[in-house]
Amino acid sequence: MKILFATSEAVPFCKTGGLADVAGSLPQALANANNEVEVILPLYQRVADNWKDKMSFVCSIEVPLGWRRVYCGLFRLEHEGVTWYFVDNEYYFNRDSLYGHYDDGERFGFFSRAIVALLPALEFMPEVIHCNDWQTALVPVYLKDECVRWSDIRGIKTVFTIHNIEYQGRYGKETLEDLFGLAPGWFSDGTIAMDGDVNLLKGALMTCDAITAVSPTYAQELRYAYFAHGMESVIRLNGGKVYGVLNGLDMAGYDPATDKRLTVNYGLKPKKGVESLETGKAKNKQHLQETMNLDIVPDVPVIGIISRLVSHKGLDLVCQVFDEIMRLNCQFVVLGSGDWNYEQFFEAKLNQYQGRMALYRGYNEALAMKIYSGADLLLMPSKSEPCGLAQMIAMRYGTVPIVRETGGLKDTVQAYEDWCGVGNGFTFADYNSHDMQFVIEQAVGLYYNKPAAFRKLQETGMAEDFSWTRSAEEYNKIYQKICS
């Protein structure tokens, strides 16, 4: 199939969050599955010059946006089997950050309008345009708006993926015509109207052919107010076209057998330069303990947290029973930054648990990899988690996850059952600190009392297939369904 993937960020060009990882991996996986794939994104200042040097100029057009006629350049780059298109407008995109500007609505309204206007300039007319989050939410709306006059685009289907429903692109009613160039009917019939405002996300949900969320459980959860940030009724109204597709993981990039960031490489199949899980992890643990000033003790379970320190990551639960957790014979490592109260909480505990607890405030990828490879358990008690990457990385490195059963955590971590040995981690359902404490005790107990069973858990996690190939297959089915 011919697919155009529309995104506001993508690895390796520009990244602020998980969307960039998806946009950096999924198009290639789709291309490997016999699709023709093009990706389109803005040409930000942040895109490095070495990439810009490799781009070729395709064309420039004027894009109508309300009463404006705006310059729009198009550049092209071939990279790993995928054609990348970059939309150029220095006024909108030559800024030091991707988002957070007073005119973000206008910037991404322009980007979405440009994607539709540029379709004849691309190598092919797509059968499907796959849009992502509010920044490209106007694409399905503009397609429907234009197709009454332009028969070439009438057959194009659209998929809209929700990575995070919190950000919706909400603007005053007056922006509809003035900024986005849409007729009042789009608002008065409710398509793009929500609580008296223009809501771009709602526009996409109402007009696209398929809605996907980044995990099957998140797709279900979005039907409820607790998770949907006011969009639950729109999700339910469109329930027949909602799907959940679990994000993948860059399995080659995160491979303990080859990862150069680790002290010692290890794997399920030891070979030259690759140690066994047992010895490899022991050496990485020792290195982690040295790096973070923990007591150098080989057979104590190390519990790690690698996370933004914000409320929805479930840190309240950790704070509530932290002393109870530390009463177990374990070490605790926290890597993250975020809300002041959580940072202060962990900071204050450092003195109390010298040699047994460590904290690094900030973002540090090298240290994250030391924790993934050196810790025994990773704690992720999130209140909500659309997909979650950290638990998948942890499993890949033989670090057993302890998670709350929500969103992608529920879809990737199956509870260990002592009596039959099934599962790949530890889980609890209710948002309750004592339930969490109970499974942490269970995990630490297994580590000490049944090392063979604990090893099996680690091995099961390491053998999981979180590849993008699997996700691409799911998306392929959705594309085929909406095009048939």
Torsional sign, CA 400, 404, 408, 410: positive
Site for ligand ADP in 211-250 (CB under 6 A): none
Which listed range, 63-71, 217-225, 304-312, 315-323, lies at the site for ligand ADP (CB under 6 A)? 304-312
Give whichever of 52 and 308 is closer to ligand ADP, judged by the CB atom: 308
Give whichever of 153 and 368 is closer to ligand ADP, judged by the CB atom: 368
Q: Is-contact 269 243, C-beta < 8 A?
A: no
Residue 232 corresponds to which tokens in the numbers above? Answer: 């639950």
Give whichever of 361 and 455 is closer to ligand ADP, judged by the CB atom: 361
Give whichever of 336 and 398 is closer to ligand ADP, judged by the CB atom: 336
If you write DSSP's letter for every residue of 468-483 in order, what string do you get? HHHHHHHHHHHHHHHH
Which listed range, 117-125, 225-233, 258-266, 382-390, lies at the site for ligand ADP (CB under 6 A)? 382-390
Q: Please name the amino acid found at residue 3.
A: I
Give whichever of 103 and 365 is closer to ligand ADP, judged by the CB atom: 365
**308: contact with ligand ADP by CB under 6 A:** yes
Helix (H, G, I), strand (E, B) or coil at 388: coil
Give whichever of 79 and 361 is closer to ligand ADP, judged by the CB atom: 361
If you write DSSP's letter for every residue of 105-118 in order, what string do you get? HHHHHHHHHHHHHT
* Cβ at position 313, least distance to ligand ADP in Å: 7
Count, residues in the chain: 484
Q: Is-contact 170 198, C-beta < 8 A?
A: yes
> Binding mask 351-380 vs ligand ADP (x if CB under 6 A, - otherwise)?
------------xxx--x------------
Residue 196, Cβ density class (10 Å: 0-12 exposed, 13-18 middle, ≥19 buried) = exposed
**Rounded Cα–Cα distance for residues 213 and 148 (Å):** 29
**388: contact with ligand ADP by CB under 6 A:** yes
* Cβ at position 254, least distance to ligand ADP in Å: 9
Sheet holding 242-244, edge to edge: 56-65, 68-79, 82-88, 36-42, 2-6, 128-132, 157-162, 210-213, 242-244
* Cβ at position 363, least distance to ligand ADP in Å: 4
Give whichever of 105 and 216 is closer to ligand ADP, judged by the CB atom: 216
Give whichever of 295 and 347 is closer to ligand ADP, judged by the CB atom: 347
**318: contact with ligand ADP by CB under 6 A:** no
Which listed range, 132-140, 257-265, 386-394, 429-437, lies at the site for ligand ADP (CB under 6 A)? 386-394
Site for ligand ADP in 146-175 (CB under 6 A): none
Residue 96, Cβ density class (10 Å: 0-12 exposed, 13-18 middle, ≥19 buried) = exposed
With CA atoms as reference, report the closest residue to 129 among 218, 222, 27: 27
Give whichever of 13 and 218 is closer to ligand ADP, judged by the CB atom: 218
Size of the site for ligand ADP (CB under 6 A): 16
Q: Please name the amino acid found at residue 41.
A: L
**347: contact with ligand ADP by CB under 6 A:** no
> Binding mask 246-285 vs ligand ADP (x if CB under 6 A, - otherwise)?
----------------------------------------
Give whichever of 364 and 476 is closer to ligand ADP, judged by the CB atom: 364
**Rounded Cα–Cα distance for residues 206 and 195 (Å):** 15
Which listed range, 100-108, 169-177, 387-395, 466-474, lies at the site for ligand ADP (CB under 6 A)? 387-395
Give whichever of 105 and 398 is closer to ligand ADP, judged by the CB atom: 398
Find how far residue 212's CA is from the centre of its chain: 13
The secondary structure element, H or E, covering residue 52 is: helix 49-54
**Rounded Cα–Cα distance for residues 174 and 442 (Å):** 57
Site for ligand ADP in 15-34 (CB under 6 A): 17-18
**Rounded Cα–Cα distance for residues 221 and 169 (Å):** 21
**389: contact with ligand ADP by CB under 6 A:** yes
Give whichever of 135 and 307 is closer to ligand ADP, judged by the CB atom: 307
Which listed range, 83-91, 306-314, 343-351, 468-476, lies at the site for ligand ADP (CB under 6 A)? 306-314
* Cβ at position 395, least distance to ligand ADP in Å: 12
- Residue among 335, 375, 440, 457 that touches ligand ADP (CB under 6 A): 335
Name residues whose C-beta falls within 8 Å of residue 401's C-beta, 6 or more positions apart in sequence: 377, 378, 379, 380, 391, 394, 395, 409, 413, 424, 425, 426, 461
Which listed range, 38-46, 70-78, 278-286, 305-313, lies at the site for ligand ADP (CB under 6 A)? 305-313
**Rounded Cα–Cα distance for residues 481 and 460 (Å):** 33
**Rounded Cα–Cα distance for residues 466 and 470 (Å):** 7
- Residue among 89, 307, 384, 399 that touches ligand ADP (CB under 6 A): 307
Binding site for ligand ADP (CB under 6 A): 17-18, 306-308, 335-337, 363-365, 368, 388-390, 393
